[in-house]
């Protein structure tokens, strides 16, 4: 059962081979046994989970079940979950029990999914290694001396170690795709606006997008079916006809043109990553696709533009954490201003403070034109590059991350090195395009490697189809870390 796909779990539940309570118990027991060494979960609440599982069993018995009813799901701790602690990996929210559910959580609950717990993450989703969490680092199940990637590192480790069949993540600059790559999983960031951000604690609102993380492409498609859809509570949510993302998975790839950005295949990629990505492209050619070289000339400016825009938005979004309405408040202070200062100084970690400082700086009078406006112009150029590229190809492929899972501490003292982990993922966020990562091999140290696909706007179904066909002829995605049996 722990290696089963969501479709297999659904069939087993419908056939009464297992109940939702038994399934939830199986994963809760694994969490109890394996999580202490991994630190993938911040909150687990057995009683609440089992109560939801019992409700799912009632629906299953009554013939009122959908394809996801009774299947356990873990949430990145950035999603507000009614009655559950929702920390966003921060001391600032270490006492915050959400009074409401995020849109995504509402959707999964009405589909009958069973909440398994809340996953560890980089503080306020700022990081690529899960080392910035107030709750401590998460270990990579493939090698516990290594990071799982970030910021959705807890979600990634939970699935890789089979503590959960699937989880949610969020991707502002790569936080679904990069941990998926480093932990041997499949993860998808939808087109900006496809999934409502309501109830997702805001980092950089013009970039944040929620998406599924799971073992396979098909699992991601089924989860996206539940997550996607219009929500009037998010002003950037898009109204589009409902779509079944799992419908076209089997389409043949004959005639597909895969664009390879020459900027993604230069120096900077580890040789093991390059070899695995090249081998995946060879596999695609066997499936009938052709590859064409394309260029994204402005993509080299993605990381600097992102590190102006994302901190600018973060500094504004995080101004709400003032110790007054909710969240952490310093125990001692002399007056109101002192209370603000101390609460924020004590409640936020180093990386979050660094971003607030950068963001406040680039938005301040005198620097706004030089930095923020300039970054916005670069963002437009990057988006235009993709528009041009998609005239010559149907989908773009390349590495997800320049390297495999690195050791704890390897990059935490050098923010720029850490920021470069997202060099291949950030362009899709800046352009608002859908992207995904799927396992395409291992390096010499048996660490997973991710292949990135970037689709055109709203072309998730095509991207999933392209990814699924690859998983039908390879088994990288089906492999499991040794220590997790």
> Of the candidates 172, 237, 343, 404, which one interacts with ligand GLN according to CB under 6 A?
172
Q: Where are the beta strands (DSSP E) in 297-446?
A: 395-399, 435-442
* C-beta closer to ligand GLN: residue 201 or 397: 201
We find the least distance from the C-beta atom of residue 426 to ligand GLN, in angstroms, to be 7
> Which stretch, 94-102, 170-178, 230-238, 463-471, contacts ligand GLN (CB under 6 A)?
170-178
**Quick one: which of 461, 468, 434 has its CA closest to 7?**
468
Return phi, psi of residue 55, to 5°.
-65, -35
We find the least distance from the C-beta atom of residue 22 to ligand GLN, in angstroms, to be 35
* C-beta closer to ligand GLN: residue 101 or 208: 208
Neighbour-count burial of 93, counting CB atoms closer than 10 A to its CB (0-12 exposed, 13-18 middle, 19+ buried): buried
* C-beta closer to ligand GLN: residue 113 or 352: 352
- Judged by CB under 6 A, does residue 69 bind ligand GLN? no
We find the least distance from the C-beta atom of residue 355 to ligand GLN, in angstroms, to be 8
* C-beta closer to ligand GLN: residue 123 or 460: 123
Site string for ligand GLN, 202-221 (x = CB under 6 A): -x------------------
* C-beta closer to ligand GLN: residue 174 or 212: 174
Question: Is 128 marked active-site?
Answer: no
- Judged by CB under 6 A, does residue 385 bind ligand GLN? no
Active-site residue identified among 175, 196, 216, 237: 175
H helices within 364-412, ranges in order?
374-389
**Quick one: which of 122, 219, 126 has its CA closest to 167?**
219
* Residue 47 near residue 14 (C-beta atoms within 8 A): no
Active-site residue identified among 90, 128, 133, 151: 151
Active-site residue identified among 76, 91, 189, 215: 76
Give the list of residues 6+ apart from residue 143 with CB closer than 8 angstroms, or none.
405, 445, 446, 447
- Judged by CB under 6 A, does residue 359 bind ligand GLN? no
Q: Binding residues for ligand GLN, how many (CB under 6 A)?
A: 14
- Judged by CB under 6 A, does residue 343 bind ligand GLN? no
- Judged by CB under 6 A, does residue 375 bind ligand GLN? no
We find the least distance from the C-beta atom of residue 14 to ligand GLN, in angstroms, to be 36
Rg (CA), the chain: 21
- Judged by CB under 6 A, does residue 173 bind ligand GLN? yes
We find the least distance from the C-beta atom of residue 327 to ligand GLN, in angstroms, to be 20
449 in helix, strand or coil? strand
Question: Is 76 marked active-site?
Answer: yes
**What CA dihedral angle connects 274, 277, 283 and 288, to 10 degrees?**
-110
- Judged by CB under 6 A, does residue 427 bind ligand GLN? no
> Which stretch, 167-175, 210-218, 327-335, 393-401, contacts ligand GLN (CB under 6 A)?
167-175
Site string for ligand GLN, 136-155 (x = CB under 6 A): ---------------x----
For residue 395, the Cα-to-chain-centroid distance in whole angstroms is: 20
- Judged by CB under 6 A, does residue 455 bind ligand GLN? no
Sole residue written with tokens 């066997």: 286
Which contiguous run of DSSP H or E holds residue 248? Answer: none
Interface with ligand GLN in residues 107-136 (CB under 6 A): 125-128
- Judged by CB under 6 A, does residue 175 bind ligand GLN? yes
Give the list of residues 6+ apart from residue 440 with CB closer than 8 angstroms, or none.
276, 277, 279, 280, 449, 450, 451, 470, 474, 476
* C-beta closer to ligand GLN: residue 178 or 196: 178
In which order are the strands placed within the sheet that holds 290-294? 41-43, 114-119, 72-76, 166-170, 210-214, 186-189, 435-442, 448-454, 395-399, 257-261, 290-294
84 in helix, strand or coil? coil
- Distance between CA 327 and CA 320 in Å, rounded? 10
* Residue 171 near residue 206 (C-beta atoms within 8 A): no
* C-beta closer to ligand GLN: residue 84 or 424: 424
- Distance between CA 187 and CA 175 in Å, rounded? 10
- Judged by CB under 6 A, does residue 167 bind ligand GLN? no
Largest CA distance in the chain: 70
We find the least distance from the C-beta atom of residue 114 to ligand GLN, in angstroms, to be 26
> Of the candidates 77, 171, 313, 459, which one interacts with ligand GLN according to CB under 6 A?
171
User: What is the DSSP secondary-structure string of 164-227?
Assistant: -SEEEEE-SSSTTHHHHHHHT-EEEEPPTTSS--TTBPPSSTTT--EEEEESSHHHHHHHHHHH
> Of the candidates 422, 434, 435, 436, which one interacts with ligand GLN according to CB under 6 A?
422
Q: Where are the beta strands (DSSP E) in 72-165?
A: 72-76, 114-119
* C-beta closer to ligand GLN: residue 69 or 128: 128
* DSSP state at residue 406: P
Site string for ligand GLN, 286-325 (x = CB under 6 A): ------------------------x---------------
Active site residues: 76, 151, 175
Binding site for ligand GLN (CB under 6 A): 125-128, 151, 170-175, 203, 310, 422
């Amino acid at each position: 059962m722990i290696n089963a796909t969501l479709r297999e779990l659904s069939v087993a539940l419908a056939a009464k081979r297992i109940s939702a309570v038994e399934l939830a118990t199986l994963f809760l027991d694994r969490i109890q046994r394996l999580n202490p060494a991994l630190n993938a979960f911040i909150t687990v609440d057995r009683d609440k989970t089992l109560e939801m599982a019992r409700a799912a069993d009632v629906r299953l018995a009554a013939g009122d079940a959908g394809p996801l009813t009774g299947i356990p799901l873990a949430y990145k701790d950035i999603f507000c979950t009614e009655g559950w602690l929702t920390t966003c990996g921060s001391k600032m929210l270490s006492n915050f029990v959400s009074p409401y559910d995020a849109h995504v959580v509402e959707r999964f609950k009405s589909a009958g999914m069973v909440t398994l717990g809340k996953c560890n993450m980089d503080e306020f989703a700022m990081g690529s290694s899960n080392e910035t969490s107030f709750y401590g680092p998460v270990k990579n199940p493939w090698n516990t001396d290594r990071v799982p990637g970030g910021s959705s590192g807890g979600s990634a480790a939970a699935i890789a170690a089979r503590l959960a069949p699937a989880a949610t993540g969020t991707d502002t600059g790569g936080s679904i795709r990069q941990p998926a790559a480093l932990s041997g999983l499949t993860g998808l960031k939808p087109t900006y606006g496809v999934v409502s951000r309501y109830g997702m604690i805001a980092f950089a609102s013009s970039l944040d997008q929620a998406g599924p993380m799971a073992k396979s492409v098909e699992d991601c498609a089924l989860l996206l079916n539940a997550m996607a859809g219009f929500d009037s509570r998010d002003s950037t949510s898009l109204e589009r006809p409902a779509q079944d993302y799992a419908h076209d998975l089997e389409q043949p790839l004959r005639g597909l043109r895969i664009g390879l950005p020459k900027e993604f295949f230069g120096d900077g990629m580890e040789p093991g990553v390059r070899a695995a990505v090249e081998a995946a492209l060879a596999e695609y050619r066997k499936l009938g696709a052709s590859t064409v070289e394309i260029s994204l000339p402005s993509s080299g400016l993605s990381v600097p533009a992102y590190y102006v825009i994302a901190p600018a938005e973060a500094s504004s979004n995080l101004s709400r954490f003032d110790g007054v309405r909710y969240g952490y408040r310093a125990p001692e202070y002399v007056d109101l201003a002192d209370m603000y200062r101390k609460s924020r100084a004590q409640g936020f970690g180093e990386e979050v403070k660094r971003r607030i400082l950068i963001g406040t700086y680039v938005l301040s009078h005198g620097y706004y034109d030089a930095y923020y406006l300039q970054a916005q112009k670069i963002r437009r150029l990057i988006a235009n590059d993709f528009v041009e590229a998609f005239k010559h190809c149907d989908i773009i492929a390349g590495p997800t991350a320049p390297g495999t899972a690195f050791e704890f501490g390897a990059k935490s003292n050098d923010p720029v090195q850490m920021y470069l982990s997202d060099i291949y993922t950030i362009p899709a966020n800046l352009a608002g395009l859908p992207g995904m990562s799927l396992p395409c091999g291992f390096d010499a140290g048996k660490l997973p490697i991710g292949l990135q696909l970037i689709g055109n706007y709203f072309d998730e179904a095509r991207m999933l189809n392209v990814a699924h066909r690859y998983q039908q002829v390879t088994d990288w995605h089906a492999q499991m870390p040794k220590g997790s049996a």
